[in-house]
Amino acid sequence: MRYSWDLIRSFHAVAETGSLSAASRRQGLTQPTVGRHIDLLEAELKVPLFTRSRDGMALTQKGVDLFAAAQEVGETAAVFERLAGGLDEGIAGTVRISANDIFGVLILPGLIGEFIAANPSVDVELVVSNDASNLSKRDADVAIRMFRPTQNDLIARKITQLPLGLFAHQSYLANRPDPASFEDLRNFVTVGYDRDPSLIEAARMMGADFTPSDFKLRTDNILSHIWAIRSGAGIGVTHLGLAERWEGVTRVLPDLALPGLDLWLACHADVRYNKRVRAVMDFLAERLKNPYATCDI
């Protein structure tokens, strides 16, 4: 008996996400369509693959038995899709770009508009997430990352290094003495991450032992960091190229050298010869050498 790949893909998505709604968002299908795929597959197999509850969809033992096989089929199909996409000779079709909050919201929209104006046959899907997209599974065709990609099947270009600094609005600093040292920041309202340990690790590299409680305002959303700084909530770390554009924001401890962020572009090796992917990569590689040029915030 042959089973449709659409049914297997929906089964795999529901098994991984635990719900029809999450699986439908991942696949770009409607929830009733994904539910119908599961019903058809269970009917063809004549066994239940999931138990349904208010908490979502959980695999039965029969479903668990099939999950590993569905994973292998999905990986094989992803390889096929990447290779097939690489055969396309035209600069037309869709390119999916993944970027974090700052690039996805503040920088890329203007650049993408410029690219589409010059390449009207290309559609762009922009995925804004601070999680690293899985290029092997076609979560994105091109990824903008703040760290060097390490997977062997990726092609990566380092574009530039983005310097960072400590900043605060003048309204916050007006009636306070300036911090005299990095350690002195404990006496101020500082903006840090909630679960992301990167700021604490960076502080440790500079010889300071910070804990989450040393940051009075904690959020893992980078845009929230920006607006906390600009609104006068406290002192935070951000890009020099952004902060120098903000009226009323001043640099704190300007002689303190913070580790910069390396800006990388990455794509899967299988699509590097796809003309539209290569066109996007070349365009972004050039324009992101000065990423703040089109940012007006």
* CATH code of the domain in which 125 resides: 3.40.190.10
pTM exceeds 0.75, yes or no: no
The per-residue pLDDT for range 109-168, each reduced to its tens digit, is 999 999 999 999 999 999 998 776 665 556 788 999 988 887 767 888 999 999 999 999
**Contact of 65 with 78, CB cutoff 8 Å:** no
Q: Are residues 197 and 247 in the same domain?
A: yes
- Among the residues of 87-197, which ranges form H helices? 101, 108-118, 170-173
> Average pLDDT, stretch 84-98?
72
Say how many domains are in the chain.
Answer: 3
In a domain, 295, yes or no: no
Q: Are residues 151 and 271 in the same domain?
A: yes
Q: Are residues 224 and 193 in the same domain?
A: yes
The per-residue pLDDT for range 36-87, each reduced to its tens digit, is 998 888 888 888 989 888 888 888 988 888 887 777 766 666 655 655 555 5
Q: Using CA atoms, how far apart are residues 83 and 270, in angstroms rounded to an integer?
A: 6
In a domain, 297, yes or no: no
Question: Which string of b and e fits 48-77 if b means at least 16 CB within 10 Å?
Answer: ebbeeeeeebebeeebeebeeebeebbeeb
Among 32, 53, 86, residue at a domain's last position: 86
Q: Are residues 247 and 184 in the same domain?
A: yes
Among 70, 86, 102, residue at a domain's last position: 86
In a domain, 293, yes or no: no
31-45 vs 5-17: helix crossing angle, rounded to 10: 110
Q: Are residues 32 and 49 in the same domain?
A: yes
> Average pLDDT, stretch 204-211?
83
In a domain, 67, yes or no: yes
Report pLDDT for 246: 94
Q: What is the extent of the structural domain holding 237?
A: 164-252
Q: Are residues 244 and 183 in the same domain?
A: yes
